[in-house]
Amino acid sequence: MAKSALLFLFSFFLVQFAPAQSSLLKVKGSHFYRNDKPIYYIGTNYWYGGLLALKKDKKSGIDRLRKELDFLQRNGVTNVRVLGGSEGSGLINGVQRVGPPIQPTEGIFDPNFLKGMDALLVELGKRKMTAVIYLSNNWNWSGGFLQYLKWNGLIPDSAFNTDIPWSELGEYTSKFYDCEKCKAEYFNQVKYIISHTNSINHKKYSEEPAIMAWEIANEPRPMASRAVNSYRKFIKSTADYIKKLDPNHLVTTGTEGYMSTESIALYKEINSYKNIDYLTIHIWPKNWSWFKGHDIAGGMDSVVSKTLTYLDVHRKIANELNKPLVIEEFGLPRDEHSFDVNSSTTQRDIYYKTIFNEWLKSKRTNGLLAGVNFWAFGGIARPTKGQIMWKEGDDYMGDPPMEEQGLNTVFDSDESTWELIHSFIEKAKQK
């Protein structure tokens, strides 16, 4: 055989059988890398992305998914943060929760559910985009930790049937960390998802380049001081378990920062664990009362100042731990707290610009703030006129069913916001 032919065959086999993880995102020190190239990205929260392809109606299902991912790609958004699966079914405070569930009843998984995630990952791969997948939820809009407690008889039905006070919610949710059966059932779900093989491209999830990271949960909080020790053990044991199942992908907590742990020291400790690859923070000016009532414009100076201070605190911790940092949730209502898709987003754009400026400065200085994911993309969905809350049959959008539809969602029609995002993507390309 000619030497050139041998070289060709050798090259062919190298390409065909090279380890899948070569194209996976990795962490080196305080930076993300892919194939030795540093990665900085603007992403979005797209929690319902893994549900769309499950719809029987192609127009509102797989066609919508493809159309929205094309839109994100055109605007330079390269990462989406999505829900891995909801637990249980039924109403939550009179509103139908997110569904269909991956785990409809205790310990029983829907064999068809992950076909939706399969489709999402295939479509992301075509566009060279990635996903961060959170494996459960601190909040009950997708079942989450409270559903495990409900299955095990540790909380009353009122935890789902009424709008319970914050103090009671904290008391209920904190029980999860000491419920061994609840945690075992959660671990079963983690294993079910991570051990899955894609039904479309036949890739194991553990080898899928379109997955950037696994996230322990959406905003896991101790929720009560008595649960802190159990909480820290849970974070560590879960990170260790995920890495055992899948040593190829990144793992992170999904926490909001010290606003959720209520302790800078605890936040630093849980992110210091060797199997936590990078730090996350969420920033919510409205939820944290950084402005009064609906006066967003009047409180914007305070919002910006407090945001930068909050970021600096966590940037310092990330620097001490020598790990990357991602602002994976930040959002603001439309002007004057409107839910109307046609209302202006002037204040939101000012706020987004603040976050994007910090990200751009980090990229230009080789800093550790590597990614920012705004909350949340609503794509082509639209709120129903005269209807504030989600109803079964409505399209999902950025605001989960238990929140006012249109509150924090960025629609594809929000031109000024997309011009802003695109402008920062273009600036980031410049040296």
- Over 60: is that where the pLDDT of 235 sits? yes
Q: How many residues are listed for the chain in this entry?
A: 431
The pLDDT of residue 9: 45
Residue-averaged pLDDT of the chain? 94
Q: Whole-angstrom Cα distance, residue 397 to residue 401?
A: 9
The pLDDT of residue 19: 40
Q: Is 124 in contact with 43 (CB distance < 8 Å)?
A: no
- Over 60: is that where the pLDDT of 226 sits? yes
The pLDDT of residue 22: 56
Record the tokens describing residue 268, joined without a space: 């630093």
Q: Check if CATH label 3.20.20.80 holds for domain 32-429.
A: yes
Query: Residue range 160-185: average pLDDT?
Result: 93
Q: Whole-angstrom Cα distance, residue 321 to residue 279?
A: 9
- Over 80: is that where the pLDDT of 193 sits? yes
- The whole-model pTM stands at 0.94
For 68-107, the pLDDT digits (tens) are 999 999 999 999 999 999 999 998 888 889 999 999 999 9
The pLDDT of residue 166: 87
For 296-322, the pLDDT digits (tens) are 999 999 999 999 999 999 999 999 999
In the chain, the N- to C-terminal Cα span, in Å, equals: 48
Q: Is 119 in contact with 65 (CB distance < 8 Å)?
A: yes
The pLDDT of residue 287: 95
- Over 70: is that where the pLDDT of 210 sits? yes
168 or 238, which is more confident? 238
- Over 50: is that where the pLDDT of 415 sits? yes
The pLDDT of residue 164: 83
The pLDDT of residue 272: 98
pLDDT > 90 fraction of the chain, expressed in percent and rounded: 88
For 4-25, the pLDDT digits (tens) are 444 444 444 434 444 444 589 9
| Integer CA distances (angstroms), 304 to 278, 284, 289, in order | 24, 11, 13
For 335-372, the pLDDT digits (tens) are 999 999 999 999 999 999 999 999 999 999 999 999 99
Instruction: Please name the residues in contact with 86: beta carbons below 8 A apart, sequence gap of 6 or more.
Output: 97, 98, 99, 100, 101, 102, 103, 137, 142, 143, 144
Q: Is 255 in contact with 219 (CB distance < 8 Å)?
A: yes
For 251-280, the pLDDT digits (tens) are 999 999 999 988 999 999 999 999 999 999
The pLDDT of residue 162: 82
- Over 70: is that where the pLDDT of 212 sits? yes
- Over 70: is that where the pLDDT of 331 sits? yes
The C-alpha torsion from 184 through 187 and 189 to 195, rounded to 10°, is: -140
Q: Is 130 in contact with 211 (CB distance < 8 Å)?
A: yes
For 373-402, the pLDDT digits (tens) are 999 999 999 999 999 999 999 999 999 999
The pLDDT of residue 165: 87
pLDDT class for 2, splitting at 50, 70, 90? low
Residue type for position 279 = L
| Integer CA distances (angstroms), 81 to 134, 211, 275, 290, 328, in order | 8, 10, 20, 25, 8
